[in-house]
């Protein structure tokens, strides 16, 4: 359950950003998470709800966008996204090389924006 | 209105981790983040290391993963300074927990600090705790496909220790296959097949520790 730590980090940043922008009412949060960061959206939603119950942030909407894993083959340099059931070995569709590819995306975990007034 | 933010959610953890790293650098303490799955024999390995090297180095242990208080006693019995931290059921240690632990310990003159992370191979990789290196401990009873199942963990580890090699004749585990997977994920990974029970292979691991301590002091 690392979602609880993620939700705590989320709250700290949001409070800072709201103070900086002089807004008091938060409506929604847009989060970008890579496939490899293994964040479970439902678990994060639950953790965020647990941390904000009975606070002014109760009921704020979390919008989560998942970024698929994208790699560059370590042998033939082809850029590809591993298929769903092969996210560990990441077999290259062109030359068959497994593992050790350069990771181009999929490790992201950040807040893109907040909607507030 | 929409306010653009673009901030890494784990930045607070990363910031404290960087503080810890600076502190350990100034104090010349080699810090290793030990990760494993339950049943890898991590406590036995640590206990043996602390005992065998105790004349050579001053060592300390932060324990985030203690199955029973017995484990903590075994570590403390070697004479090393040990502090247990309560992760409140969380699946990993984070850098603020390690910072708190360090504040309660006497780390002057420490050569090696072992941070024993929670037994779990999935999420600790995302949380740095100021360590020089991550060390993943695997036992041959767990199956040689572990590196393949947890690629992030192995891609970020400097060392893989394969424990319980005295049981190799009885289990279906290929040292060659596990080593190959790990080195494909991370070409610089060092692999040490050992038996913490019989002591086989431990010398190579100790030699690596000696070199890294020397580098840290230089
Ligand atoms: Zn290829």
Give residue A90's pLDDT band: very low, low, confident or very high (50, 70, 90): confident
Please indicate if any CB of chain A lies within 8 Å of the CB of B11.
yes
> How far is Cα of residue A107 from the mean position of the Cα atoms in its chain?
8
Q: What is the DSSP string of A17-86?
A: HHHHTT---EEEEEEEEEGGG---HHHHHHHHHHHHTTSTTTTPEEEEEEEPPEEE-TTT--EE---GGG
Tally of domains in chain B: 1
Ligand 1 mean position, distance from CA A87 (Å): 15
For residue B1, tell me if it sits in a domain: no
> Cβ–Cβ of B11/A9 closer than 8 Å?
yes
More confident residue, B87 or A102: A102
- Its ipTM equals 0.77
Q: How many CB atoms lie within 10 A of CB B52?
A: 15
For residue B68, tell me if it sits in a domain: yes
Give me the CATH number covering residue B103.
3.40.50.300
Give residue A38's pLDDT band: very low, low, confident or very high (50, 70, 90): confident
> Cβ–Cβ of B7/A111 closer than 8 Å?
yes
**C-alpha–C-alpha distance, residues A85 and B71, integer Å:** 38
**C-alpha–C-alpha distance, residues B11 and B17, integer Å:** 10
The parent domain of residue B58 ranges over 7-213
For residue B169, tell me if it sits in a domain: yes
What are the sequence ranges of the domains in chain A? Answer: 1-116
CA distances from B45 to B41, B59, B138, B168 (A): 6, 14, 11, 17
For residue B207, tell me if it sits in a domain: yes
Neighbours of ion ligand 1 (CB under 5 A): A 73, 75-76, 78, 92, 94-95, 97
Q: Taking CA atoms, what residue in A is nearest to B94? A: A5
What are B64's two structure tokens? 């985030």
For residue B198, tell me if it sits in a domain: yes
For residue B2, tell me if it sits in a domain: no
**C-alpha–C-alpha distance, residues B74 and B66, integer Å:** 11
CATH of A1-116, one of 3.90.190.20, 3.40.50.720, 3.90.1150.10, 3.30.2320.80: 3.30.2320.80
Walking along chain B (218 residues) 10 residues at a time, the average pLDDT comes out as: 86 88 96 88 92 96 74 84 76 83 93 86 69 92 77 81 94 89 84 96 98 95
Closest to A68 in 3D by CA, of A41, A37, A44, A43: A37
For residue B196, tell me if it sits in a domain: yes
Residues of B in Cβ contact (< 8 Å) with A2:
90-92, 123, 126-127
> Which of A12, A37, A89 lies nearest to residue B126, judging by beta carbons?
A37
For residue B218, tell me if it sits in a domain: no
């Amino acid at each position: 359950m690392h979602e609880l730590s993620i939700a705590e980090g989320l709250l700290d940043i949001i409070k800072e950003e709201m103070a900086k922008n002089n807004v008091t009412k938060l409506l929604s949060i847009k989060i970008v998470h890579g496939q490899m960061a293994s964040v479970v959206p439902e678990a994060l939603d639950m953790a965020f709800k647990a941390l904000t119950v009975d606070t002014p942030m109760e009921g704020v909407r979390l919008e989560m966008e998942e970024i698929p894993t994208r790699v560059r083959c370590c042998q033939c340099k082809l850029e590809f996204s591993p298929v769903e059931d092969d996210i560990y070995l990441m077999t290259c569709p062109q030359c068959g090389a497994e593992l050790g590819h350069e990771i181009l995306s999929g490790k992201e975990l950040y807040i893109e924006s907040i909607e507030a007034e | 209105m929409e306010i653009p933010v673009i901030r890494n959610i784990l930045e607070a953890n990363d910031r404290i981790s960087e503080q810890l790293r600076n502190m350990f650098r100034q104090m010349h303490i080699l810090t290793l983040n030990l990760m494993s799955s339950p049943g890898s024999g991590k406590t036995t390995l640590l206990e043996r290391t602390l005992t065998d090297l105790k004349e050579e180095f001053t060592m300390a242990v932060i324990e985030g993963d203690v199955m029973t208080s017995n484990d903590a006693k075994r570590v403390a019995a070697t004479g090393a300074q040990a502090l247990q931290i309560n992760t409140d059921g969380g699946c990993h240690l984070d850098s603020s927990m390690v910072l708190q632990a360090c504040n309660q310990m006497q780390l002057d003159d420490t050569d090696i600090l072992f941070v024993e992370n929670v037994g779990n191979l999935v999420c600790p990789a995302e949380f740095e705790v100021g360590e020089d290196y991550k060390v993943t401990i695997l036992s041959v009873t767990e199956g040689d496909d572990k590196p393949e199942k947890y690629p992030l963990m192995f891609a970020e580890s400097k060392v893989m220790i394969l424990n319980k090699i005295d049981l190799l004749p009885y289990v279906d585990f290929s040292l060659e296959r596990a080593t190959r997977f790990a080195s494909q994920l991370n070409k610089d990974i060092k692999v040490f097949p050992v038996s913490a029970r019989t002591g086989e292979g431990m010398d190579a691991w100790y030699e690596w520790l000696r070199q890294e301590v020397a580098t840290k002091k230089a």
